[in-house]
Amino acid sequence: MEGKVGKALLKSLLCCSAVLEFVCDLMYNITMSLIHTSVQAAVFQAVLKQEIAFFDASPTGELVSRITTDTNDMSEALSEKLSLLMWYSARFGFLLYFMLSQSWQMTLLTCMGLPIIWVIPELTGHFHQTIAARVQESLAKANQVATETFSCMKTVRSFANEDGETEKYRRRLEDTYGLKKQEAVAYAASTCANSMTTLALKVCILYYGGTLVTMGTVSSGELVSFVLYELQFASAVEAVMRYYPEVKKAIGASEKIFEYLDREPRAPPSGSLAPEHLTGHVQFRNVKFSYSGKTEENSLVLKDVSLEVKPGRVTALVGLNRSGKSTCVKLLERFYQPQAGEILLDGKPLHSYRDDYLHQQIAVVSQECVLFARSVRENITYGYENATDEEVYRAARMASAHGFIQELAH
């Protein structure tokens, strides 16, 4: 009867263990997926909030690589390696307690060898963190070459430079390969050193334990128990030393991500003005501007520019290439801030208006037509998703696009 009860209890425990393991794995994987998507979305949002000058200085391919590749590498490494590191660290503590209960002398000898063993992962972990940051930077540069090539494919084809772009991309990949070889050598050396030091520690413990048994300080049974505990303890130490550099590597790969998250946009805060009616009287008064932010005479694009755009009239800015015509429009859109002078809209400083309000009042037809990889309707209603069908058709007719849009499939 007792045997049947014991078997039933054992089966129940096994079933509960399997169910709990399933639930824990499910919750863990869902949580880590949620963290990954949240971090990726947060980085994307943080980058979008930056000033236009930030995008001028940061290549598109590099930004995409940071948001996608870096966040994915960081979340994968931290979700798997960090959890294992914490688990083995807890196991390390419990085993140390059991070893201490068997023999404090041999435990002391074990602990004396730990600082030597821990020096290796600390040094390799620092190296992995440094090399990982360089690897991610190299990958970002390679992605930038690919992004530029695909986005300017007509230019590449017109100059018959496919082989040149292929060679440039190959050189970037070779740089990454060289860094990964250094990383592989460091990992192999670290693993070998860890194995040798733990083996030396085991030999010392067996020798010292045999001496204690001969002296009668510990029994042979206690020595066997201690050795069994020490074997598991050594495996826990090896696991900690193996996963610690991986966690440091993930930290190195995530440095740029958190740099984006912590970066504050270098632009003045949005104003508060949002009048119901706007006449559109624009005035530039002694405006000086330089894309580099410098105020030296030779770096200025606009030098004491003053002009007036009156409502209800057509005003044309005429000048040579790079004379600052497009720059005036960019300043009016508040993409950049002038180094000196001021821009007035209806007699009020431009920076006193709310950014979203200002961009709703200004319509710009640029020299290059930009189309997103979306439907025609989504392109027309970009920034105005609640537009009615009639408003969409009217906009298409005003742009002389309604006819050929009607001929498109679907």
At 157-197, the pLDDT tens digits run 777 778 888 888 888 888 888 888 887 777 777 777 777 77
Q: What is the pLDDT of residue 58?
A: 79
Q: Which of 113-127, 267-281, 385-399 has the highest mean pLDDT?
A: 385-399
List pLDDT tens digits, range 61-117: 778 877 877 787 777 776 677 777 777 777 777 777 777 777 777 777 666 666 666
Residue 313 has pLDDT above 80, yes or no: yes
The mean pLDDT of 207-213, rounded to a whole number, is 73
Q: What is the pLDDT of residue 265?
A: 81
Distance CA 284, CA 343 (A): 5
Query: Which band of pLDDT confidence, cut at 50, 70 and 90, is reported for residue 56?
Result: confident
Q: What is the pLDDT of residue 236?
A: 74
Query: Which band of pLDDT confidence, cut at 50, 70 and 90, is reported for residue 270?
Result: confident
Query: Which band of pLDDT confidence, cut at 50, 70 and 90, is reported for residue 2?
Result: low
Residue 297 has pLDDT above 80, yes or no: no
Q: What is the pLDDT of residue 3?
A: 57
Structural domains in the chain, sorted by start: 36-262 (1.20.1560.10), 282-362 (3.40.50.300), 369-410 (no CATH)
Residue 303 has pLDDT above 80, yes or no: yes
Average per-residue pLDDT in the chain?
A: 79
The mean pLDDT of 7-25, rounded to a whole number, is 77
Task: Produce one character per residue of 63-73: b if its CB has 16 or more CB atoms within 10 Å, e if not.
Answer: bbbbbeebbeb
Q: What is the pLDDT of residue 393?
A: 92
Q: What is the pLDDT of residue 394?
A: 92
Residue 146 has pLDDT above 60, yes or no: yes
Residue 201 has pLDDT above 80, yes or no: no
Question: Which position has the higher pLDDT, 331 or 22?
Answer: 331
Query: Which band of pLDDT confidence, cut at 50, 70 and 90, is reported for residue 333?
Result: confident
Percent of the residues in the chain that have a pLDDT greater than 70, as a whole number? 87
The mean pLDDT of 29-48, rounded to a whole number, is 81
Instruction: State both tokens at 117.
Output: 């063993």
Please state the three-class secondary structure of the chain as a single string.
CHHHHHHHHHHHHHHHHHHHHHHHHHHHHHHHHHHHHHHHHHHHHHHHCCCHHHHHHCCHHHHHHHHHHHHHHHHHHHHHHHHHHHHHHHHHHHHHHHHHHHCHHHHHHHHHHHHHHHHHHHHHHHHHHHHHHHHHHHHHHHHHHHHHHHHCHHHHHHCCCHHHHHHHHHHHHHHHHHHHHHHHHHHHHHHHHHHHHHHHHHHHHHHHHHHHHHHCCCCHHHHHHHHHHHHHHHHHHHHHHHHHHHHHHHHHHCHHHHHHHHCCCCCCCCCCECCCCCCCCEEEEEEEECCCCCCCHHHCCEEEEEEEECCCCCCCCCCCCCCCHHHHHHHHCCCCCCCEEEEEECCEEHHHECHHHHHHHCCCCCCCCCCCCCCHHHHHCCCCCCCCHHHHHHHHHHCCCHHHHHCCCC
The mean pLDDT of 39-47, rounded to a whole number, is 85
Query: Which band of pLDDT confidence, cut at 50, 70 and 90, is reported for residue 397?
Result: very high
